[in-house]
Amino acid sequence: MSAVNKTSTSKHRTLGYIGLSVLGACIGLLFLLPLWWTFVNSLRPGGDTFRFLNPLQWETFFTLTPSLDNYAALLSSDLGLATWNSIFVSIVTVIIGLAICSMAAFALAAIPFRGSGVVFIVVVVSFLIPFDAIAIPLADLFRDWNLQNTYTGLILPGLGNGMAIFLLRTFFLAIPKDLVEAGRLDGLGWWGIFRRIYLPLSVPSLIGAGLTLFLFQWQSYVWPLLNGTDAQHILGPIALSNLQGQFNVDYGVMFAGSIVLTVIPLAIIIGFQRYFIQSVTTTGLK
């Protein structure tokens, strides 16, 4: 009796295992589909985008004659320049932003001073005010300051990131104070303690904070739309959305641009996967 029971539960288990696997696979593939379709269409001429859609066929999702023509065309187009702008703006933001945010986090975590409570409140308030909501009043201020259509104007709002400061501060708090004492005995000042002790110990959290800064800039849409729309300073997402809705759109080039704008952050996320997951989840849970 018990033997029968056992085989039936193990059969039940196997069925459940197969069922869950199939369900998981179907859902995963469904999520991949829009991006895969974009990728396939970036490899064929724009005129063919709608050719294999009705009815659905294998050629909707595969092509036997892939070509990189659209990517070559992208290089010489405005969208190509816009992508370079996005890369430039994001890199500068990450470098300067990390310096600024890690210094602030260090002061909040390691240096005891009066008023640190107030400063912390400023950080928290600035992070409670959603940036996109205040982008319109800020764009008005930037017009007064003659920062419209400049790289400075595009980069500035991404530098001070409350989230990155928060993340780094949490990590810095875990660094034992004994190390600070030891540094002092070796004659280090605060700057030396920051540079020689805190920064080298916190590479993982610096990568996490750097990713936060990078994604903020790379994905931003409202701000570059309000602040940088001339041909020299336009960013990738804005240039791409300008294509959409135009009468004579080359869908092939549009899809190639979409893939490039997606693959760059994707490569960075995959490269730093461990730190990305860590930074994402610790901000939410701890």
Closest contact distance (angstroms) between CB of 75 and other proteins is: 18
Cα–Cα distance measured from residue 121 to residue 46, given in angstroms and rounded to the nearest whole number: 52
- Burial class from Cβ neighbours inside 10 Å (0-12, 13-18, 19+) for residue 88 reads middle
Only one of the segments 77-85, 100-108, 179-187, 199-207 lies at the binding site for other proteins (rule: CB under 8 A); that segment is 100-108
| Contacting other proteins within 138-197 (CB under 8 A) | 138, 140-141, 156-157, 159-160, 162, 165, 190, 194
Q: Least distance (Å) from other proteins to the CB of residue 189? A: 8
Report residue 237: phi and psi, to 5°. Answer: -60, -35
> How big is the site for other proteins, counted in residues (CB under 8 A)?
89
Question: Hey, which residues between 107 and 126 contact other proteins (CB under 8 A)?
Answer: 107-108, 111, 113-116, 119, 122-123, 125-126
CB-wise, 171 or 218, nearer to other proteins? Answer: 218
Among 243, 253, 256, 272, binds other proteins (CB under 8 A): 243
87 binds other proteins (CB under 8 A): no
**Cβ 17 to other proteins shortest distance, Å:** 6
Residue with tokens 């993340």: 167
Q: Is 143 exposed, middle or buried (0-12, 13-18, 19+ CB in 10 A)?
A: middle
Eight-class DSSP state of 150: S
Least distance from other proteins to the Cβ atom of residue 115, Å = 8
Near other proteins by CB under 8 A: residue from 14, 15, 32, 84: 32
Measured CA to CA, the distance from residue 48 to residue 124 in angstroms comes to: 51
Does residue number 128 form part of the binding site for other proteins (CB under 8 A)?
yes
Contact at 8 Å (CB) between 230 and 277? no
Interaction pattern, residues 193-232, with other proteins; x per rule: CB under 8 A: -x-----------------------xx-xx--x-------
Q: Is 146 left (phi over 0), alpha (psi -120 to 50) or beta?
A: left
Structure tokens of 229? 């729309």
For residue 200, the one-letter residue type is P
Residue nearer to other proteins on the CB measure, 60 or 69: 60
By CB under 8 A, residue 83 contacts other proteins: no
Nearer of residues 13 and 68 to other proteins, judged by Cβ: 13
Phi-psi bin for 77: left (phi > 0), alpha (psi -120 to 50), beta? beta
CA–CA gap between residue 76 and residue 74 (Å, rounded): 5
Specify the stretch interacting with other proteins by CB under 8 A; choose among 2-10, 66-74, 135-143, 203-211: 135-143
